[in-house]
Structure 1
Amino acid sequence: MGVPSILALCATVASATAIQIPILASDNQAPIQAETGHPHGSKPLVNSTEIQDLISGDRLQRRAKQLFEIAKLGEAEYNHPTRVIGSAGHAGTLDYIYETILQLGDYYDISNQSFPAVSGNVFESRLVLGQDVPKSAAPMGLTPPTKDKQPVHGDLVLVKNEGCQTTDFPETVAGNIAFIKRGVCPFGTKSENAGRAGAVAAVVYNYEKDGVQGTLGTPSSFHVATFGLSGEEADPIIKKLEKGKSVDGIAYIDAEVKQILTVNIVAQTTEGDPNNVVMLGAHSDSVAEGPGINDDGSGTISLLEVATQLTKFNVSNAVRFAWWAGEEEGLLGSDYYVAQLPEEENQKIRLFMDYDMMASPNFAYQIYNATNAANPNGSEELRDLYIDWYEEQGLNYTFIPFDGRSDYDGFIRNGIPGGGIATGAEGIKTKKEQEQFGGKAGDWYDNCYHQLCDDLGNVNETAWIVNTKLIAHSIATYARSFKGFPERTLSVSSNAYSENVKYHGSRLFI
């Protein structure tokens, strides 16, 4: 199709001169073939029941095995399997997605959207406050290292207000560690202001009991090494500082923040009304810590499998699949994609569906609670489609906040109706959810979330099959007709949503 290969586009990303997609010879299984079915021109209009019947747990698991072998390409650099952006494992993932769609012939137009991305990695960190090593201390995402990647020493200096203005920082911050309350402005702003004031490091403490897993966002030359800290562990320190007592600290972060080139992959059906686009996406990258077979290998594979089975049908409306890069670094790929859309192209997308983590081991069937009151018109109708399907299957479901944690964020902020489903990350399963879905109350939905153990043993096949069928149903419904679904409006902003969102991807940014 005249599109440069993924590996050519990622030449600056992976140091390997060539990456071969591993073939699973160990279980004598051949690579998964397209199986496009009906001869061209004689395919029936897509039918929800028929496409759902084509979803196979065996095919999902076979693709997972291939993806795990691909993640092993990251071992040379990271000493364990990973598909983080910039790694050979991610370049291999992109190649696998591209080649899988390419095998489907002329059913799809496929394109690669390369873009500059920021990649951050913390190799080692430690924070000592007074005589204590806080258990909740966590380096912020995209934090720079401490000076010369060595420990820095200083007194904790309590910053006025919430550190959102340079005037909040007293002169005594220079050469010391800024102690800043989490509040109304982004963590990156607080760190930048601390750096401008001459601080050697910064600690952002929570106004709530819990810890702060945050990100600094877009890098600044003024950012300093920054930790998050729970309100519970910050409270006794604040009391000492407010009484005029001295608390010293030692901060150490060995980290890197670098600019790389990575790629979004987008495939759209060649048939169907291109002015009424059904769009859905998953993210192709993992965190550096592991292979990401559930997060979001499960969503990546579900989309690949549904895209394959869709080729057996005709569509009335165009269907556009997307695999985003850089989600784990802060929704970089999806944000870039939406930002590049001319308003005319924005208006052609009738809705966007996000599918991130479809197979958590201790799963709950979760629906993003997107309403038309707070989100672009049509988001609630999509939410209700998921509700209706689960109820028709006799399955329980629960609602989760629509809070900016995945790739729907950029679409909603730009006026495109959206929603999605998930099965849970680091959240705690309740006793009620144990009754509804089985599993174990008191545990995370995914005990291996963002860890090395997010491997082949970290997927629940039952949940994965169910949700892949629901993905197929969502596509089949809107690829047939948008009857009863709200028309797009001219507005391309969603202020009500933006005012209530504190996440940008998996990490807090404010």
Structure 2
Amino acid sequence: MVFFSGFALCAAFAGTGALQIPLLSSHNQAPLGHPHGSKPVVNSTELQDLISGDRLMIRAKKMYEIAKLGEEEYNHPTRVIGSAGHIGTLSYIYEEILKLGDYYDISNQTFPAVSGNVFESRLVLGDQVAKSAAPMGLTPPTKDNEPVHGDLVLVENEGCQSTDFPDSVAGNIAFIKRGVCPFGTKSENAGRKGAVAAIVYNYEKDSVAGTLGTPSPYHVATFGLSGEEAGPVIEKLEKKKRFDSIAYIDAEVSQINTVNIIAQTTEGDADNCVMLGAHSDSVAEGPGINDDGSGSISLIEVATQLTKFNVSNCVRFAWWAGEEEGLLGSDYYVASLPEEENAKIRLFMDYDMMASPNFAYQIYNATNALNPNGSEQLRDLYIEWYKDQGLNYTFIPFDGRSDYDGFIRNGIPGGGIATGAEGIKTKKEEEMFGGKHGSWFDPCYHQLCDDVGNVNVTAWVVNTRLIAHSVATYANSFKGFPERTKSVASSAYEKDVKYHGSKLFI
């Protein structure tokens, strides 16, 4: 890690394909709280009382204005990595922490990433435009960024082996069942056999969203397709009937550098760190004010208010880049930790999507049997807090779709809370939390409408106060919390977790 100024943060992107922007602010904030040396030890109730919906919303509006910096390149607000909107987000986070003086040491961890952008796409099956067709993340374009024509060729098994692809796929479009190997493997196998494009269809009626992952010269333009639309096509193909198709993707994939921002208290036991994180980037399709502007802003606000107190244990805040591309930033961070530094992190708390409009108060159902020792104690802290507030809560499983995954896989106790993404709220959950059953927890998940109007302020304040409680509790003491051991996630975790990031199927 290297330390450098907010100006250098912007300058660090020179020559990487990312736009440079000026700093969003440069003034220093007035000293907060008590005079230096006379601050009280952090108190959970007092820290929670400093959280306000007004301050969160002011920051949300600022972040939306920053997302508009992406309009020139993407034609709409976005904070996707590599965009001016994301560089602006990084500058904003850095400047907000810099205002807090010497309470924090700030470090920027630069790492390589791959950025993809789909400008236009269409898939025609027979004489019908496929309504559920969605280009895979990091897909290359069709040849010369123009439509390609070909017959659909049904691939045997799940396309995980090159032998699954018949020779007839050359010059045509591979039709591949979703399955146990990464989408990138399927696309690469199709390309090696000469396919001009590939379609990965679902075995269930739902649509398929995914990413091809690390680019390969053999990747071909690849769509995901719902099982509902794939069904009639498969019936015809199995009867050996010809089914022509037109695929079109105008896209680009490029190598860039991006940045994790880490802020650690200068005081507190540096051998026993409370760590928490949120991701600073959005998807290309929208501004990402709930996903995960809400978590990023909650961390900024808790970090700001924490400066009014002394801490016994160090607190380390992280804003990850490249989460939407497959947990790139958090993976890079954990992989870069020497063993002795890994051991200093007593636990990691993930705060991704704190303010979904149709929310539920969700807790990751961590247990010490399946996860590193201490994960269950963190889960129980969340449970007790919701109970103390007279609020309902529900459990969600670890599925590998957020930044806790790399920590748990590397032996660091982990957990977190969320308010829901594209999952469907049940009737029971409507009775528990209000809202509307049968609808997504976040109807604007990964869409252009994830803007300032897409946050539930009540849920956001509640969860930011819980974040404050989690920080205050462990910044004060780890009494009763298990010591770190060299345990890692169990084989059951490895088996049950089918995703690594919000899109990537393993």
TM range (shorter): over 0.9
Q: Give the alignment partner of residue 117 of structure 1, picking from 101, 113, 116.
A: 113
Match of 2:197 among 201, 206, 229: 201
Taking the aligned partners of 2:41 and 2:167, their CA distance within structure 1 comes to: 70
Shift of 1:364: 1.1
Alpha-carbon separation, structure 2, partners of 1:460 and 1:301:
14
The alignment partner of 2:290 has SS state of coil
Query: Does the CA-based 8 Å contact 2:18-2:256 persist in structure 1?
Result: no
The answer to whether 1:213 aligns with 2:209 is yes
**CA offsets 1:348-402 (integer angstroms, 9 cap, x no match):** 1111101111111111111112222222221121111111100110001111221
Q: 2-side partners of 1:17 and 1:217: how far apart? A: 26
What secondary structure, in the 3-state scheme, does the structure 1 residue paired with 2:137 have? coil
Q: What per-residue deviation string (whole Å, max 9, x for no partner) do you get for residues 127-156 of structure 1?
A: 122233222221111111111111111111
The one-letter code sitting in structure 2 at the alignment partner of 1:252 is: Y
TM-score (norm 1): 0.95
Distance 1:389 1:245, change over 3 A: same
Contact kept? 1:9, 1:263, Cα under 8 Å: no
1:186 aligns with 2:182: yes
Query: Among residues 79, 83, 100, which one is paired with 1:104 in the alignment?
Result: 100
Which residue does 2:24 correspond to in 1? 21
Give the whole-Å Cα distance in 2 for the aligned partners of 1:206 and 1:374. Answer: 30
Residue type of the alignment partner of 1:3? F
Residues 448-505 of structure 1 show CA distances to partners (whole Å, capped at 9, x for unaligned) of 2222221211111111110000000001111111122222221345432222222222
Q: CA deviation at 1:93?
A: 0.9
2:466 maps to what in 1?
Answer: 470
CA distance 1:384–1:33, shift in 2 (3 Å):
same
Moved more, 306-315 or 483-492: 483-492
Letter in 1 for 2:4: V
Task: Give me the whole-angstrom Cα distance separating, in 2, the residues matched to 1:311 and 1:265.
Answer: 18
CA distance in 1, matches of 2:97, 2:263: 8
CA contact (8 A) 1:10 1:263 kept: no
- Alignment of 1:418 with 2:414, yes or no, is yes
Q: What is aligned with 1:11?
A: 14
2-side partners of 1:401 and 1:2: how far apart?
37
In 1, are the aligned partners of 2:277 and 2:318 still within 8 Å (CA)?
yes
Aligned mates of 2:490, 2:127 — CA distance in 1: 47
Structure 1 position 42 matched with structure 2 position 45: no
TM-score, length of structure 2 as denominator length? 0.96
Task: Please report how far the alpha carbon of residue 66 of structure 1 lies from its aligned counterpart in structure 2 after TM superposition.
Answer: 1.6
How big is the alpha-carbon RMSD for the aligned residues of Structure 1 and Structure 2? 1.8
Correspondence list, 1:409-488, <5 A? 409-488=405-484
The sequence identity of aligned pairs, in percent, is 81
Residue pairs, 1:176-325, within 5 angstroms: 176-325=172-321
Counterpart AA for 1:346: N
Q: Distance in 1 between matches of 2:60 and 2:305?
A: 17
Q: 1:34 deviation in Å?
A: 6.0
Counterpart of 2:500 in structure 1 is 504
Q: Is the 8 A contact 1:137 1:228 kept in 2?
A: yes
Q: What's the counterpart of residue 163 of structure 2?
A: 167
Aligned residues of 2:108 and 2:260 also touching (Cα < 8 A):
yes
Give 5+ residue unaligned stretches, structure 1.
Answer: 24-30
2:494 maps to a residue whose letter is S
C-alpha distance 17-507 of structure 1, shift in aligned 2 (>3 A): closer
The 2-side partners of 1:469 and 1:367 are apart by 15
**Separation in 1, partners of 2:341, 2:490:** 18
Match of residue 151 from structure 1: 147
How far apart are the structure 2 equivalents of 1:16 and 1:163?
39
Q: Distance in 1 between matches of 2:28 and 2:135?
A: 41
Matched, 1:330 2:331: no
Kindly provide the amino acid, as one letter, of the partner of residue 264 in structure 2.
Q
